């Protein structure tokens, strides 16, 4: 078995706000091995970004409360001091943020920003840092890195900025790369380039990737294992194949059915998940998806635990429905109005 | 087509001057929209797709005269509107409305929902205040909000709800044409599908005509009757919706389609993916000849020199390419002949053509997934 880099056990993150306690992440668990890509999907407000930022130690603050463990190579990152965390951040865990337009500083040259990250972590002189920067830019596919290294962010296109961000995240050879919606702000053609780049770099740098997105299409291409998050919880977890070919949670069906798909005949009408995600301050009782679930019944007033309910080991879900019933009925949601079911 | 189209666009150009220096001399031009022609029939949805910077939003805004066209004709209901003054344009503005992309930026945060939706009626002097208020209540219900939301502020709503307010505002004047500029791209998938269904219902209820601008090819296929693909200010392919996906003619369209991620791991693995190298070139100095040639995998000499005209390959499927894909020999010959009759193609035919072995008689293997 490959080396286990990261293990998250029953992580809870709460923020005290004026309006009440926001339960942003409410008990999630997963493990990540070297060479693997873990996908996290969910809508806005499902807690996926807070999870990522907590792994990086970026949600620390006087209003934040943490429970559980984030074990990186056996060491609990939640217990590490802010100062020591800086050693992990960048060196061990690198992060790519969603918006390449706002996550680069517009008044510094691209090269300076990447070299700064290198020099913050390693004792190297300016020239060495610059040489490394150029090499990194080449690895992420920036043409002409020797001259582009002195460009300002506004001289880069959206796709190139995201490449520069990736170069920065990789600058200190982290073992875990966390990509928070890295392709959302990009065009499909550029998105395809970035997805390919991330999976190639994962092999080149021998690291593991946590890939957060709300796009199920992107996740299908890159992930080995997927967590589906809803209201701060993992509601389904399984391998990519489990999740796409044998989804167990009505929320997952809803997500799959909501996308207008190019690989299927055009649906007369798209499936929708009625209503909106719940407020994280006032969560509904029982199963958190119950108010929006078309299959909800009495038992759903108690929250189901995340458990293995199908034959495949490791495929977990939070749903009381009978597996046979689900397999029979899920296509109504997944294929929407289209007559054909996959 | 027997009936006159609702909107006809002929050779529309929109250039933005780049000025520099003390004298503000023009040093260059951004060719945002460059000689675009198409027509929209009443009741249909025309999808407009392309990467960012291809000019689709500029085109949308030019059509409703939020931007002045540099050249060309815009004919709305048989009447040219490209040179109308503000006052004569106003009655036409009732007929064409816009829905904007960003539901956070397109609603005035200091105005109440009621005011936002009733403002268009006030500006156009439609009915008394009471009638206006009653209408707003009705419209809010139509778009899935409640009349009680009248006195709320935009910040009290979620992204999806705000986009509903934006649609309500556009509907207030009972327009014929709605230009929706990326109306769902800022929304989560589950909310996005609610929105698309709503827009479909409204189209049936109010006989609306849509121009739907988006970069998501899945969304565009779902809503559109016909689709125009734009690249660097030009329409490079225009086709009935399904046809575009099963039989793309322009290599750019083929590449765009192959880049769309498919939520099916097995299919995703099997599929041939054409990854386009690099970014869209600058519209200030667009490439010579075919504008797509620096990124095209079928490029030959002719592409770098001569701009391909938009030609009709039958059944309303138009494309601009020297090396059309998915076209059978017969059509190709017919088109070749037709092309020679157009003056724009006269120069082209003077040069040696290289179309041998490039036209696939059947559907390319990359697209057989669609026929499932």
pLDDT tens digits for range A107-159: 999 999 999 999 988 889 999 999 999 999 998 988 889 999 999 999 888 88
pTM: 0.84
Q: What is the DSSP letter of B370?
A: G
Residues B276, A189: C-beta atoms closer than 8 Å = yes
Please check the confidence at residue A338 and state whether its pLDDT lies above 70.
no
Sign of the Cα torsion A164, A166, A168, A171 reads negative
Q: Is the Cβ pair B192, A258 closer than 8 Å?
A: yes
Note whether B242 contacts A263, CB cutoff 8 Å. Answer: no
Give the per-residue pLDDT at B340. 54
Query: What is residue B155's three-state secondary structure?
Result: helix
**Segment A178-235, tens digit of pLDDT:** 999 888 878 888 888 888 899 889 998 899 999 999 888 899 989 999 999 999 999 9
CA triplet A330, A317, A16: central angle to 5 degrees?
Answer: 120
Give the per-residue pLDDT at A226: 96
CB contact (8 A) between residue B264 and residue A342: yes
Closest-CA residue to B7 (of B207, B202, B211, B265): B211
Chain B within 8 Å of A206 (Cβ-Cβ)? Answer: no
Structural tokens at position A179: 């990509």
d(CA A255, CA A225): 17
Is A291 in CB contact (< 8 Å) with chain B? no
pLDDT confidence of residue B241: 92
* Dihedral sign of CA atoms B355, B356, B358, B362 in order: positive
| pLDDT number for residue A29 | 93
Cα angle A281, A287, A291 (rounded to 5 degrees) comes to 75
Q: A189 and B160: CB-CB below 8 Å?
A: no
- Under DSSP, the state recorded for A246 is S
Q: Write the residue in B159, B190, B219 that is nearest to A272 by C-beta.
A: B190
CA distance linking residue A333 with residue A63, whole number of Å: 40
A340 pLDDT exceeds 90?
Answer: no
CB proximity under 8 Å: A 81-120 to B? none
Total beta-carbon pairs less than 8 A apart between chain A and chain B:
135
Contact status of A220 with chain B (Cβ, < 8 Å):
yes
**Whether pLDDT at A2 is above 80:** no
Q: How many residues are recorded in chain B? A: 372
d(CA B263, nearest CA chain A) in Å = 4
- Return mean pLDDT, chain A: 90
The pair phi, psi for residue A281, each rounded to 5°, is -90, -45
Query: Given phi > 0 = left and psi -120 to 50 = alpha, else beta, which region is A281?
Result: alpha
Residues across chain A: 342
Task: Look at residue B367 in the predicted model and tell me its pLDDT.
Answer: 42
Say yes or no for a CB contact (<8 Å) between B219 and A262.
no
Predicted pLDDT at A183: 85
Contact B261 A240 (CB under 8 A): no
Alpha carbon distance A291, A279 (integer Å):
12
Which one-letter DSSP state was computed for residue B275? P
Q: What is the structure's pLDDT at B338? A: 61
Q: Which residues of B touch A195 (CB under 8 A)?
A: 261
At residue B150, the pLDDT reads 92
Q: Sort out which chain A residues have CB atoms less than 8 A from B193's CB and list them.
A: 257-260, 270-273
Tokens of B51: 């990467």
**pLDDT tens, A30-65?**
999 999 999 999 888 899 999 999 999 999 999 999
To test the contact with chain B by mutation, choose from A272, A293, A336, A337 the residue with the greatest count of B C-beta atoms within 10 A, namely A272
Along the 372 residues of chain B, how does pLDDT read in single tens digits? 446 899 999 999 999 998 888 888 888 899 999 999 999 999 999 999 998 888 999 999 999 999 999 999 999 999 999 999 888 998 898 999 999 888 888 999 999 999 999 999 999 988 899 999 999 999 999 999 998 999 999 999 988 899 999 999 999 999 999 999 999 888 888 888 999 999 999 999 999 999 999 988 989 999 999 999 999 999 999 999 999 999 999 999 999 998 888 888 888 888 888 878 777 888 888 999 999 999 999 999 999 999 999 999 988 899 999 999 888 888 888 777 665 555 454 444 444 444 444 444 443 444 443 433
In angstroms, rounded to a whole number, what is the distance separating the alpha carbons of residues B212 and B200?
12
Enter the tokens of residue A7.
């293990």
Residue A316 has pLDDT above 90, yes or no: yes
> Residue B283: what pLDDT?
87
- Chain B residues whose beta carbon lies within 8 Å of the beta carbon of residue A240: 265
Pairing mode, strands B226-231 and B209-214: unpaired
Whether A331 shows a pLDDT value over 90: the answer reads no
Percent residues over pLDDT 70 in chain A: 98
**CA pseudo-torsion sign B343, B344, B348, B354:** negative
Which sign does the torsion angle of CA A296, A299, A301, A307 carry? Answer: negative
CA distance B96 to chain A (A): 26
Q: How confident is the model at residue A337, as a pLDDT? A: 47
On whether any CB of chain B is under 8 Å from the CB of A329, the answer is no
Least Cα distance to B326 among B287, B370, B270 occurs for: B370
Q: ipTM, 2 decimals? A: 0.83
Q: What is the pLDDT of residue B337?
A: 61
A274: chain B residues, CB-CB within 8 Å:
194
DSSP string, B15-82: EEEEEETTTTEEEEEEEEEEEEEEEE-TT-EEEEE--TTSSHHHHHHHHTTSS--SEEEEEETTEE-T
């Amino acid at each position: 078995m490959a080396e286990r880099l990261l293990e998250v056990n029953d992580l809870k993150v709460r923020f005290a706000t004026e309006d009440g306690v926001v339960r942003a992440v409410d008990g999630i668990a997963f493990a990540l091995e070297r060479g693997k890509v873990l996908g996290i999907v969910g809508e806005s407000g499902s807690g996926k970004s807070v999870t990522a930022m907590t792994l990086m130690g970026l949600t620390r603050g006087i209003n934040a409360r943490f429970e559980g463990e984030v074990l990186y190579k056996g060491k609990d990152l939640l217990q590490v001091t802010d100062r020591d965390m800086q050693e992990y951040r960048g060196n061990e865990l690198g992060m790519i943020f969603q918006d390449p337009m706002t996550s680069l500083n517009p008044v510094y040259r691209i090269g300076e920003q990447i070299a700064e990250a290198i020099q913050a972590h390693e004792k190297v002189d300016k020239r060495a840092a610059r040489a490394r920067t150029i090499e990194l830019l080449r690895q992420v596919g920036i043409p002409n890195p020797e001259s582009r290294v002195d460009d300002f962010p506004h001289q880069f296109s959206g796709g190139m900025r995201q490449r520069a961000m990736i170069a920065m995240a990789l600058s200190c050879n982290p073992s875990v790369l966390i990509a928070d919606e890295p392709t959302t702000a990009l065009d499909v053609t550029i998105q395809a380039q970035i997805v390919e780049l991330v999976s190639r770099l994962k092999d080149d740098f021998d690291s593991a990737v946590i890939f957060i997105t709300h796009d199920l299409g992107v996740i299908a291409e890159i992930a080995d294992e997927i967590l589906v998050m809803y209201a701060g919880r993992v509601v389904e977890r399984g391998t990519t194949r489990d999740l796409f070919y044998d989804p167990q949670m009505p929320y997952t069906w809803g997500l799959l059915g909501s996308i207008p798909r190019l690989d299927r005949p055009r649906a007369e009408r798209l499936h929708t998940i009625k209503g909106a995600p719940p407020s994280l301050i006032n969560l509904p009782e029982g199963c958190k998806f119950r108010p929006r679930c078309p299959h909800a019944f009495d038992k759903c007033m108690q929250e189901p635990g995340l458990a293995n309910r199908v034959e495949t080991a490791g495929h977990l879900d939070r749903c009381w429905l009978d597996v046979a019933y689900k397999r029979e009925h899920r296509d109504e949601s997944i294929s929407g109005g289209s007559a054909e079911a996959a | 087509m027997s009936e006159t189209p609702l909107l006809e666009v002929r050779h529309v150009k929109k250039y933005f001057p780049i000025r520099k220096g003390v004298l503000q001399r023009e040093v260059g031009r951004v060719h945002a929209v460059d000689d675009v022609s198409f027509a929209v029939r009443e009741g249909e949805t025309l999808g407009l797709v392309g990467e960012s910077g291809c000019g689709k939003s500029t085109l949308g805004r030019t059509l409703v005269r939020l931007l002045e066209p540099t050249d060309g004709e815009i004919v709305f209901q048989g009447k040219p509107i490209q040179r109308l003054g503000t006052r004569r344009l106003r009655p036409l503005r009732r007929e064409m409305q816009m829905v904007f992309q960003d539901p956070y930026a397109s609603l005035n945060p200091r105005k109440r929902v009621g005011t936002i939706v009733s403002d268009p009626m006030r500006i156009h002097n439609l009915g008394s205040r009471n009638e206006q208020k009653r209408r707003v209540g009705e419209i809010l219900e139509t778009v899935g909000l409640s009349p009680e939301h009248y006195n709320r502020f935009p910040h009290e709503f979620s992204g999806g709800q705000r986009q509903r307010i934006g649609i309500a505002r556009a509907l207030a004047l009972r327009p014929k044409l709605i230009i929706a500029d990326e109306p769902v791209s800022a929304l989560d998938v589950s909310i996005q599908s609610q929105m698309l269904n709503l827009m479909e219902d409204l189209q049936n209820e109010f006989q609306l005509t849509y121009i739907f601008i988006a970069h998501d090819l899945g969304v565009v296929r779902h809503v559109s009757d016909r689709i125009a693909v734009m690249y660097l200010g030009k329409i490079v392919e225009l086709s009935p919706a399904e046809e575009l996906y099963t039989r793309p003619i322009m290599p750019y369209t083929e590449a765009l389609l192959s880049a769309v991620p498919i939520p099916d791991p097995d299919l995703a693995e099997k599929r041939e993916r054409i990854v386009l190298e690099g970014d869209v070139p600058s519209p200030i100095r667009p490439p010579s000849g075919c504008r797509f040639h620096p990124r095209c995998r079928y490029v030959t000499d002719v592409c770098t020199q001569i701009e391909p005209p938009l030609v009709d390959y039958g059944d309303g499927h138009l494309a601009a390419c020297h090396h059309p894909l998915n076209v059978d020999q017969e059509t190709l010959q017919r088109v070749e002949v037709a092309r020679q009759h157009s003056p724009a193609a006269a120069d082209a035919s003077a040069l040696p053509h290289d179309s041998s072995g490039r036209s696939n008689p059947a559907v390319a293997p990359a697209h057989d997934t669609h026929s499932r």
